[in-house]
Amino acid sequence: MFKVVGVIGAGQMGSGIAHVFAQHAYQVLLYDISQAQLDKALKSIEQNLERQARKGVIFTTSIEGIMARITATKELKDFAQCDLVVEAATENENLKFELFKKLDEIVAEEAILASNTSSISITRIAACTRRPDKVIGMHFMNPVPIMQLVEVIRGLGTSEETFQAIGALVARLGKEMAVANDYPGFIVNRVLIPMINEAIFALYEGIATAEDIDKGMKLGTNQPMGPLVLADFIGLDTVLAICNVLHDGFKDPKYRPCPLLVNMVNAGYLGKKSGKGFYDYQG
């Protein structure tokens, strides 16, 4: 069904999504407002493909063809040729609303618009368009080429036809689908973010060091990494944004973000991407 896939946002998630679609023979248009970010994304995708080749996941000879299927653009109007658009912009509600309004004007009536949002209401995003039946959530996990899950979120107006088309697409990408209804945080972040926030409270209240909190959760509950280092990898600004979506959406104080998290974001300590979070990444 899908031939040309548009991906909005050339950050870590957007580049990973573009990588996976191109690897599975789809033509990809990768959009970002920054040429530097687009250049960085293309370089990162090629490096990740080379890493896959060294591990025997793909053939080295396939890399050139995969990269040739990805076209970078700074013009949203180029998305007129897309059958599917996956938005992976910053987790900002107003930004996503504006993007979907523009996309609704640009792409064909039959095209599906998906959001990689990790917490923002698909129903509200869909309401910005004239095609709520063709709007759906496709929440990929990071790093996209490695993680097997795609959380698919049905908005209140999402049609069965759209859902079935995206379900089939997820399978063609070699991934597993978990289906969520449209409530704040969906499945993964509804469970994960409160756990991370509680770990931050444990640090804030002096219960233990960051290292011991992570060691306790990693070795005591068999998680691949502790919640604080995971927060650094996600980005503390993203963790805070999702905390706020949960808190605003449910009006329940149990979702209130830890003051330490708020202060760290205000200070620009965003985790690995800024070089400093609960751990130092500048060395």
Q: Annotated binding residue at 273?
A: yes
Taken in order 11, 14, 20, 22, the sign of the CA dihedral is: negative
The whole-number pLDDT of residue 283 equals 73
The whole-number pLDDT of residue 1 equals 78
User: Which residue in the list 119, 189, 244, 274 is annotated as catalytic?
Assistant: 189
The whole-number pLDDT of residue 91 equals 87
Per the annotation, the verdict on 46 as an active-site residue is: no
Let me know whether 102 and 73 are in one domain: yes
User: Which residue in the list 139, 197, 244, 274 is annotated as catalytic?
Assistant: 139
Taking only the tens place, the pLDDT of each residue in 222-262 is: 999 999 999 999 999 999 999 999 999 999 999 999 999 99
User: Which residue in the list 116, 151, 197, 274 is annotated as catalytic?
Assistant: 151
**Position 101 in a domain:** yes
Of the residues 123, 153, 181, the one at which a domain ends? 181
- What domain count does the chain have? 2
Q: How far apart are CA 256 and CA 210, in angstroms?
A: 20
DSSP 8-class letter at 131: -
Q: Annotated binding residue at 91?
A: yes
Per the annotation, the verdict on 139 as an active-site residue is: yes
Q: Annotated binding residue at 96?
A: yes
The whole-number pLDDT of residue 138 equals 98
| Residue 211 belongs to domain spanning | 190-274
Q: Of 207, 199, 213, nearest to 257 (Cα)? A: 199
**Position 157 in a domain:** yes
Per the annotation, the verdict on 160 as an active-site residue is: no
Q: Annotated binding residue at 118?
A: yes
Give this prediction's pTM.
0.91
Taking only the tens place, the pLDDT of each residue in 127-145 is: 999 999 999 999 999 999 9
Let me know whether 47 and 103 are in one domain: yes
Alpha-carbon distances, residue 158 vs 78, 111, 122, 131, 155 (angstroms): 25, 13, 9, 9, 5
Per the annotation, the verdict on 24 as an active-site residue is: no
Q: How far apart are CA 262 and CA 55, in angstroms?
A: 40
**Position 281 in a domain:** no
**Position 279 in a domain:** no
Q: Annotated binding residue at 244?
A: no
Q: How far apart are CA 214 and CA 276, in angstroms?
A: 17
Q: Annotated binding residue at 12?
A: yes
Number of Cβ within 10 Å of residue 187's Cβ equals 16
Let me know whether 158 and 226 are in one domain: no
Under-50 pLDDT residues of the chain: none
The whole-number pLDDT of residue 79 equals 98
Let me know whether 47 and 153 are in one domain: yes
Of the residues 129, 148, 181, the one at which a domain ends? 181
